[in-house]
Amino acid sequence: MRPAILRVILATAAVAMLALHAEAKTFRWANDGDVTSMDPYAREETFLLAFDQNFYEPLIRRDRNMKLEPGLATKWVQTSPTTWRFTLRKGVKFHDGTAFTADDVVFSFERATQPGSNVGGALATVKEVRKIDDYTVDIITDGPDPILPFDLPTVAIMSKKWCEEHNATRAADLTKKQENYATRHEDGTGPFILKVREPDVKTVLVKNPNWWGLKHEPIDIDEADFMRIANASTRVAALLSGELDMIYTVPPQDIARIKSTPHMKIWQTPELRTIFLGFDQSRPELLESSVKGKNPFMDKRVRQAFYEAIDENAIAAKVMNTYAHPTALIVGPGVNGYDAALDKRFPYDPAGAKKLLAEAGYPNGFEVGFDCPNDRYVNDAAICQAVTAMLAKIGIKADLLAQGRAKFFGKILHPHYDTSFYLLGWTPGTHDALNALTSLVQTRHGKDGVFNIGGYSNPAVDALDAQIQVELDPKRRDALIAKALGIVRDDFAYIPLHQQVVVWATRSNVDLAQTGDNFFQLRFVKMK
Amino acid sequence: MIAFIIRRLFQSVLVLLAIALIAFALFNYVGDPVSNMAGQDATPQQREALRHELGLDHSFIVQFARFVGRAAHGDFGLSYQEARPVGQIIVEKAPATLELSLVAALMALILGVPMGVYTGLHRNSFLSQVMLTGSLIGISLPTFLIGILLILVFSVTLGWLPSYGRGPVVHIGWWTTGLLTLGGWRAIILPATTLALFQMTLVMRLVRSEMIEVLRTDYIKFARARGLSRRAINFGHALKNTLVPVITITGLQLGAIIAFAIITETVFQWPGMGLMFIQAVTFADIPVMAAYLVLVGCFFVVINLVVDLLYYVVDPRLRIERRHAANV
């Protein structure tokens, strides 16, 4: 009896496996987080934006090398310093069959800047969106904005008619006690259509047979099943056991193991995100330090001493298992304005660091609080532990407080800026250096320098930022950016550590486009 | 009897309020949900506006009073993370957790009781030694490690069972079940085993020691003297008398299984309430955390109440003692 049952089970399993192979073009992948919303304006988070762009498309999108290319707009020109004219693609249909026109663009940009939307930051300079005719739109900016196109890949276009029909003309509004229709449904123009949405369990997308891009860009997979698997070991196990075709994020300690398993492949590329250390340079006295009555970090020599005491090459090699690219700048390769010639780190020199500290009046070092996340960046807490040990060698006692991201950001971000010394990572959302400069370096004022947690302030950099903002000539603009980045580097405003490496793992029959912004798009996936 | 129930119900409400209060006090330490919700390019004004919309700028007392007031109407608010009503999320997740817990509890009983009986009867046999040593593993290894080991062996190496998820589910009204499909059963084996292992060990050891105890009593000796068959003695008399504490403990443990499914669910990506709770913690999703803690509190209170009532009904001695106590 029992062997008979076993035989039936095995036979069924075999049939099931054969069936899976027969409809081969189902691509299954998992991430550690779930897409929390199908609404492309719900959150400015790489994973959500990337996922939702499988069905919602922007006017301008990025190709497999992160270069801008026409999306729903076929052409864009600057007709005056404050006006960008977009020619829209004709013959595009939303998934419900409605034709895409200029009205949808006007509507979407308005929706994106209203309360409830979190992608409004990308459109901060947009003053007005004007419909010229059904397939032409003018965007009027608040002062010249030469890099507006770089902002647009974040903002997907939604259907005006659909949103109005389903009472979703605003992105999720938490004050209302009901779910927004767009949170679990979609009506985009993109290459995939949402078929099943079970939050936290399974999300199924199917190929859009009427996609406008199919002619020059065939989609290889018919169906894509997304699963959330939060536990890193389980995620890797599911890939190794053949239940998945791709996973990301890949835990660093499992990379070697996946690599050595037959039929598995590791993909890697430097990420745009830069990990760096920052100091409180604005308070007259540090919040958490043994030094009273003054702020040691206002002294450039102290900042330089910290810099020279940290052996970034050792961190990259040991803590990051070589999956890191040491850097001297606050932006990395792939970011517009990055200058490889400038990207030279100052040497590791603990003896020199000690001397600098003594010159600054701290021959015996001092004690300072050190804030660090433990679940935000790759091996973040381990990096901080290494830094703490390295600083101890020059007599600095860093009191490390490594905590979860919600606690960490609650402490160090606006409005408290409650930190003396911290680790942070930054990806310029626009892929342009100006975003890093205005967010991290510019003097805190209004919406400038919101993430300038240490309160660094340098009039020279502020002046450069203002110039970069309005400079229309790309060459001159790059030169200005380089100048600003150089000042930040030589002033030891931050201690840039490294760019992380984006690591994805797939079965070896999968081909895809991996980009440094960790923006995974299904339209590039091919399965052999 | 009715006075007893009313008293207990009143106490239960107090307990739930206390749980809610403690939970709420803890939320001050989980971090700032606003930093998770607003994007990196959000302005300080947008952050403030969001904080105000969520009512996070009010004092602790006001926030707590509002929460209790709404919860009394069954409204737990909107999840910060998913922007959906918390009640709806919990209704979606509850079947997965309850099914897993039930299967695990049954597994623990069905395997644990016979093993306990066997080891109680044949104390020195080789098999008993094996079972007892094996049960040490069940007690001493942490759940997540057992889960990972099972995945490694049965999913990665042997490829027999799925390593994550619930498999295909069937919808019956608002309830979803994985127990009607082969895939669902395949998916539940590993997590249920993981969750059941500790309870199984507990049941087995409990039955064993009770058996040993009961077998020493006089009435068993008399039964033997009367010449009853071994079968009748062991199962008809001995086992029956060991089961009272086993049933109590299992009942109480059911609450623990539901509450501690958190770890098992995390390891196996089982889409239940435990996983939901862990994910809410990392996001500082206060409405979900609050609702979950109150709900688990409810489970415990109800289970305890039922067990108490059962005691009262089953064991006549309790009633008598109570009356005496009241007279004193």
Q: For residue A180, what are the contacts with CB-CB under 8 A and spacing of at least 6?
A: A39, A168, A170, A171, A172, A173, B83
Determine the pLDDT at residue B42: 67
CA distance linking residue A476 with residue A479, whole number of Å:
5
Closest by Cα among B98, B138, B105, B119 to B247: B105
State the smallest CA–CA distance between residue B228 and chain A in angstroms.
34
Q: Is A44 in contact with B41 (Cβ distance < 8 A)? A: yes
Determine the pLDDT at residue A4: 55
Q: Give the mean pLDDT of A364-392.
A: 91
Size of interface A-B (CB pairs under 8 A): 178
In the predicted model, is pLDDT for residue A114 greater than 70?
A: yes
Q: For residue A126, what are the contacts with CB-CB under 8 A and spacing of at least 6?
A: A109, A113, A139, A140, A141, A142, A148
More confident residue, A84 or B144: A84
State the smallest CA–CA distance between residue A179 and chain B in angstroms.
5
B-contacting residues of A 170-209, CB under 8 Å? 172, 174-180, 183-184, 198-202
Q: Give the mean pLDDT of A348-371.
A: 94
CA distance linking residue A351 with residue A356, whole number of Å:
9
Q: Is B83 in contact with A179 (Cβ distance < 8 A)? A: yes
Determine the pLDDT at residue A498: 95
Count of CB atoms situated within 10 Å of the CB of B192: 24
CA distance linking residue A81 with residue B28, whole number of Å:
48
State the smallest CA–CA distance between residue B158 and chain A in angstroms.
9
- Residue B203, strand partner residues: none
Q: Give the mean pLDDT of A232-244.
A: 90
Determine the pLDDT at residue A59: 95
CA distance linking residue A335 with residue A433, whole number of Å:
6
CB distance from A406 to chain B under 8 Å? yes
- A232-240 vs B143-150: helix axis angle to the nearest 10? 10
Determine the pLDDT at residue A371: 94
Mutate to test the interface with B, among A226, A241, A430 (most CBs of B within 10 A): A241
Q: For residue A416, what are the contacts with CB-CB under 8 A and spacing of at least 6?
A: A410
- For A179, which of B53, B84, B166 is closest by C-beta distance? B84
In the predicted model, is pLDDT for residue A130 greater than 90?
A: yes
User: A281-319: per-residue pLDDT in tens?
Assistant: 999 999 999 999 999 999 999 999 999 999 999 999 988
Determine the pLDDT at residue B323: 53
Q: Give percent above pLDDT 70 in chain A.
A: 94
Determine the pLDDT at residue A410: 79
SS3 A272: strand
Determine the pLDDT at residue B321: 53
Residues of chain A found within 8 Å of residue B75, distances taken between Cβ atoms? 177
CB distance from A253 to chain B under 8 Å? no
In the predicted model, is pLDDT for residue A51 greater than 90?
A: yes
In the predicted model, is pLDDT for residue A13 greater than 60?
A: no
Distances (CA, A) of B177 to B38, B88, B97, B183, B191: 36, 17, 11, 11, 15
In the predicted model, is pLDDT for residue A1 greater than 80?
A: no
SS3 A161: helix
Q: Is B83 in contact with A44 (Cβ distance < 8 A)? A: no
Please report the ipTM that was assigned to this predicted complex.
0.72
Q: pTM for the full model?
A: 0.78
Determine the pLDDT at residue A309: 95
More confident residue, A262 or B60: A262
pLDDT band at A396 (very low <50, low <70, confident <90, very high): very high
Closest by Cα among B14, B28, B122, B26 to B68: B14
Phi, psi of B19 (to 5 degrees): -60, -45
- B273-283 vs B240-268: helix axis angle to the nearest 10? 40
Count of CB atoms situated within 10 Å of the CB of A321: 15
DSSP of A236-248: HHHHHTTS-SEES
Q: Is A450 in contact with B44 (Cβ distance < 8 A)? A: yes
Determine the pLDDT at residue B316: 63
What the block records as the tokens of A396 is 């600095």
In the predicted model, is pLDDT for residue A18 greater than 80?
A: no
CA distance linking residue A491 with residue A360, whole number of Å:
16
Determine the pLDDT at residue B326: 47
- Residue A426, strand partner residues: A274
Query: Which of A60-74, A161-175, A239-253, B312-326 has the least mean pLDDT?
Result: B312-326
In the predicted model, is pLDDT for residue A22 greater than 70?
A: no
Q: Is B155 in contact with A447 (Cβ distance < 8 A)? A: no
CB distance from B126 to chain A under 8 Å? no
pLDDT band at A367 (very low <50, low <70, confident <90, very high): very high
- For B36, which of A180, A406, A439 is closest by C-beta distance? A406
State the smallest CA–CA distance between residue A469 and chain B in angstroms.
16
Average pLDDT per 10 consecutive residues for chain B, totaling 328 residues: 79 86 76 67 71 74 81 78 82 89 90 88 86 83 87 88 85 83 88 89 88 84 82 78 77 81 88 87 82 85 79 64 49
In the predicted model, is pLDDT for residue A185 greater than 50?
A: yes
Determine the pLDDT at residue A85: 95
Closest chain B residue by Cα to residue A415: B44
State the smallest CA–CA distance between residue A397 and chain B in angstroms.
26
In the predicted model, is pLDDT for residue A248 greater than 90?
A: no
B-contacting residues of A 100-119, CB under 8 Å? 115, 118-119
Q: Is B39 in contact with A45 (Cβ distance < 8 A)? A: yes
pLDDT band at A178 (very low <50, low <70, confident <90, very high): low
CA dihedral A329, A333, A334, A338 (to 10 degrees): 50
In the predicted model, is pLDDT for residue A8 greater than 60?
A: no
In the predicted model, is pLDDT for residue A3 greater than 70?
A: no
Q: Give the mean pLDDT of A121-140.
A: 91
Mutate to test the interface with B, among A6, A231, A422 (most CBs of B within 10 A): A231
CA distance linking residue B245 with residue A415, whole number of Å:
57
Mutate to test the interface with B, among A41, A45, A201 (most CBs of B within 10 A): A201
User: A402-417: per-residue pLDDT in tens?
Assistant: 887 777 887 888 778 8
Query: Which of A41-45, A53-57, A70-74, A331-335 has the least mean pLDDT?
Result: A41-45
Determine the pLDDT at residue A19: 47
What the block records as the tokens of A156 is 């997907």
